[in-house]
Amino acid sequence: MASARARRKGAAELLGPAPLVVVSERPFNAESPYSQQLGLLTPVDRFYVRSHFGLNQAPGAEDWRLEVSGAVQQPLSLSLADLLGLPARSLIATLECAGNGRRYLEPPVPGEQWALGAVSTAEWAGVSLSEVLARAGIAAGALEVLFAGVDRGPSPVDGATIRFERSLPLEQALHPDVLLAYAMNGAPLTADHGAPLRLVVPGWYGMASVKWLCSIEVLRAPFRGVFQADRYVYDFGDGRPVEPVTSMRVRALIAQPTPGARIPASGAQVRGWVWSGAAPIAGVEVSDDGGETWVQAELGARVSPYAWCAWQYRWRPSRPGAHTLLARARDASGAAQPLAPDWNRLGYGNNAVQRVEVQVGE
């Protein structure tokens, strides 16, 4: 099997400029160039990559198994062929890293210094998690379902070797749209994206969608692992209670024009993508004066309740010179993007309004 790095090199040779913006090499983390996102689906080689530990090689499908254990009536040990024989399901979903935008927090916080490209959209195919749990049979007293990948590495808390593990409340795990995914955009998963099997939890930040999945354990007590209790929590440092990171906050990004662009006096099309994990999008507003005034943008068709949708606005500047473009989204729950980040110690969920400086000239 070719290494993930070799495949990335081949893709770069075919596509010209490197399709991903590397944030860190070890473990490999890279952003999607969202300013080049033209269609609904992000090509696999341009889909952002989030890894917590290094993985030399993805487990081969021929010797990989998924173990289902814990508070179940019938433990299971499933091969990829077993899963392929179960009823298939597909859906289009946007995944966003919980740390997307961490680079812009002040004062700075630790962690991968993502700009705004840790978000992408794909069509995922696999088996409903609920289908597998039904075959195992949920035992009395079950509260959560724990998912573990094969990747291992040093704990960010004490340096001990741990696996990447996350749990979901049982009610969430039983939702029919939570997938055990083995395909992405019509092809088998690649190593970077969790081959041969990953979890996909639509609407939640990407940490919930455990990659390289190898075990599922039904629990009768809450899981308190590092990536559940010490990381992926909102710790505001101002007396507010610590909260778990769950669904994606509402956000609109401007894909075009890009920062520093020169715009003709006749104007330009301002376009981008908008999504929310909590509720349907209610609208996007655009400002060309740094947020003093706002106008409604046009929303594109929403093809999936879990996917971003396009928005656009035909901008006709009132004067030459420097302008600051902003796009602000709101969803049906009443949530709206703030103008300033909601600072927290670990830098999660920064959905503050993006500011794009452009120059209008003759």
pLDDT per position as a tens digit, 327-346 = 999 999 999 999 999 999 99
252-309 per-position pLDDT tens digit:
999 999 999 999 999 999 999 999 999 999 999 999 998 999 999 999 999 999 999 9
Instruction: Report the Cα 242 to chain-centroid distance in Å.
Output: 22
Q: Contact at 8 Å (CB) between 276 and 329?
A: yes
pLDDT attached to residue 9: 31
How many residues are listed for the chain in this entry?
362
Q: Which two tokens stand for residue 68?
A: 């289902």
Q: Contact at 8 Å (CB) between 32 and 295?
A: no
CATH topology match: 4-231 vs 251-361? no
pLDDT attached to residue 54: 79
152-177 per-position pLDDT tens digit:
999 999 999 999 999 999 999 999 99
Residue 245 has pLDDT above 50, yes or no: yes
Please give the average per-residue pLDDT across 68-89, as a whole number: 98
Question: Is the N-terminal amide bond of 59 cis, ω within 30° of 0?
Answer: no
pLDDT attached to residue 362: 66
Q: Where are the domains of the chain?
A: 4-231, 251-361
pLDDT attached to residue 184: 98
| Higher local confidence (pLDDT), 290 or 201 | 201
SS3 192: helix
311-332 per-position pLDDT tens digit:
999 999 999 999 999 999 999 9
Query: What is the CATH number that goes with domain 4-231?
Result: 3.90.420.10
pLDDT attached to residue 156: 94
pLDDT attached to residue 18: 55
Residue 58 has pLDDT above 80, yes or no: no
Residue 352 has pLDDT above 60, yes or no: yes
**23-57 b/e with 16+ CB inside 10 Å = b?**
beeeebbbbbbbbebeebbbbbbbbbbbbbbebee
Which fold, 251-361?
Answer: Immunoglobulin-like (2.60.40)
pLDDT attached to residue 61: 78
**194-231 b/e with 16+ CB inside 10 Å = b?**
bbbbbbbbbbbbbbbbbbbbbbbbbbeeebebbbbeeb
Please give the average per-residue pLDDT across 172-197, as a whole number: 97
pLDDT attached to residue 165: 98
11-32 per-position pLDDT tens digit:
322 233 458 999 999 999 999 9
pLDDT-derived band at 90 (thresholds 50, 70, 90) equals very high
| Higher local confidence (pLDDT), 7 or 131 | 131
42-56 per-position pLDDT tens digit:
999 999 999 999 776
pLDDT attached to residue 290: 85
Mean pLDDT of the chain: 93
